[in-house]
């Protein structure tokens, strides 16, 4: 049996991932710069990745780690397209403040 599986309860990984996820949610809520908001979304995705890898190791099953790869693929595509949209927005409005993007607000 692995050293880490013996010595660390799986609950610790659950708590750490929950904490990182909630810090990401907090960052999305308090920051107004759209680029930093995207970075906080990346942090939330990483919290989920960490928990998937932990369960994968504890169950000795590779499928969790494969799922982490696919989450990384989606995160990379999301960052590329999101930053492309942000550059476009900055070119039109000269700001990345999310409060300036309320044209669809009723």
Partner 1 sequence: MSLSLAVFLILGLASVIFSLLMVFTKNPVHSVIFLILTFFSIAGQYVLLNAQFLAVVHIIVYAGAIMVLFLFVLMLLNLNSAAEPKQSARWKLGAAIAAGMLLVTLVGALKGGIQIAVPENTNPQVGLAQNLGRVLFTDFVVPFEIAGILFLAAMVGAVLLAKRDVKL
What residues numbered 18-37 form the site for partner 1, per CB under 8 A? 18-27, 29-33, 35-36
Q: Does 54 bind partner 1 (CB under 8 A)?
A: yes
How near is the Cβ of 102 to partner 1 at its closest, in Å?
13
Nearest partner of 21 among 43, 54, 39, 36, judged by Cα: 43
Strand partners, 97: 33
DSSP 72-102: HHHHHHHHHHHHHHHHHHHHHHS--BGGG--
Q: Does 41 bind partner 1 (CB under 8 A)?
A: no
Residue 44 CA, chain-centre distance (Å), reads 3
Q: Does 48 bind partner 1 (CB under 8 A)?
A: no
Q: Does 101 bind partner 1 (CB under 8 A)?
A: no
Among 60, 102, 103, 104, binds partner 1 (CB under 8 A): 60
According to DSSP, residue 33 is labeled B
Q: Does 5 bind partner 1 (CB under 8 A)?
A: yes
Cα 25 from Cα 22, distance rounded (Å): 5
How near is the Cβ of 20 to partner 1 at its closest, in Å?
6
Q: Does 92 bind partner 1 (CB under 8 A)?
A: no
């Amino acid at each position: 049996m692995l050293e880490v599986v013996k010595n660390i309860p799986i609950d610790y990984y659950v708590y750490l991932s929950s904490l990182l996820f909630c810090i990401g949610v907090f960052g999305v809520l308090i920051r107004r710069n759209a680029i930093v908001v995207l970075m906080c979304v990346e942090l939330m995705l990483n919290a989920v990745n960490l928990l998937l890898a932990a369960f994968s190791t504890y169950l000795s099953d590779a499928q969790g780690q494969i799922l982490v790869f696919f989450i990384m693929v989606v995160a990379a595509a999301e960052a590329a397209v999101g930053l492309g949209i942000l550059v476009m927005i900055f070119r039109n409005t000269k700001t990345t403040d999310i409060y300036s993007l309320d044209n669809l607000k009723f």
